[in-house]
A and B are shown apart, each in its own frame.
Chain A
Amino acid sequence: DAGITQSPRYKITETGRQVTLMCHQTWSHSYMFWYRQDLGHGLRLIYYSAAADITDKGEVPDGYVVSRSKTENFPLTLESATRSQTSVYFCASSEPPGAYEQYFGPGTRLTVT
């Protein structure tokens, strides 16, 4: 499928478990982002990446790990899930030059019990 995909779309996990959310884009965009969306907080940036092997922390990185060994993939790992990480997670990509508009995936709804 062309575009940006996320998997799984829904996930229920238990406190303390490790879980990985996958993000794949077919455009070879340089920049990729992970956000979480919570009621009352809007979108908050977790991590971002300017290119393969280059990642950086966003506003709320604690408890998350990312990697980017290939341009098209940007997985997000919760090393030991907590209830406060229950959220909807969105991956996005963008490509310079231009307006740096972002293209979003459909999201992963994660519930930590």
Chain B
Amino acid sequence: GEDVEQSLFLSVREGDSSVINCTYTDSSSTYLYWYKQEPGAGLQLLTYIFSNMDMKQDQRLTVLLNKKDKHLSLRIADTQTGDSAIYFCAESKRGSYIPTFGRGTSLIVHP
């Protein structure tokens, strides 16, 4: 299987919370990242979490890390149409500066 797995699509209503999930296989992962890609643009780092943390909050974004299950999630509160994009989960292994990316989750926000 893939090193980093994500579901391909998520559809939510404007104003609701979105939760994008990711699973990874390598227990030696040190950093886990969420990137956002808007149409026609490159990826932009949203946030990252170090592997010794369980949670990180940044305004409307909450990242949860479950190391036991190797599960990472990104919660976007009060989702807006401007949040429509592809969200990539990525992880970097200990001693490596090359991240492994998931295939991305397309978030569609409808009125």
Chain A residues at the B interface, C-beta cutoff of 8 Å: 31, 33, 40-43, 45, 48, 50, 58, 90, 92, 94, 96, 99-107
Check B101 for interface membership: any CB of A closer than 8 A.
Answer: yes
- How many residues belonging to B are interface residues under a CB distance threshold of 8 Å? 20
In the complex, which residue of chain A has the Cβ closest to the Cβ of B48?
A99
Does B43 lie within 8 Å of A99, measured CB to CB? no
Chain B residues at the A interface, C-beta cutoff of 8 Å: 31, 33, 35, 40-45, 48, 50, 88, 92, 97-99, 101-104
Contact of B103 among A33, A41, A50, A104 (CB under 8 A): A41
Does B92 lie within 8 Å of A42, measured CB to CB? no
Interface of B is mostly: strand
Does A94 lie within 8 Å of B97, measured CB to CB? yes
**CB proximity of B53 to chain A, nearest CB, Å:** 12
Which of B48, B97, B102 has the most C-beta atoms of chain A within 10 angstroms of its own C-beta?
Answer: B97
Q: How far is the CA of A90 from the CA of B28 in the complex (A)?
A: 27
Does A102 lie within 8 Å of B99, measured CB to CB? yes
Q: What are 22 contact pairs spanning A and B, CB under 8 A?
A: A33-B98, A42-B88, A42-B101, A43-B104, A48-B98, A90-B42, A90-B43, A92-B42, A99-B33, A99-B50, A100-B92, A100-B99, A101-B45, A101-B48, A102-B43, A102-B45, A104-B35, A104-B42, A104-B44, A106-B40, A107-B40, A107-B42
Does B42 lie within 8 Å of A106, measured CB to CB? yes
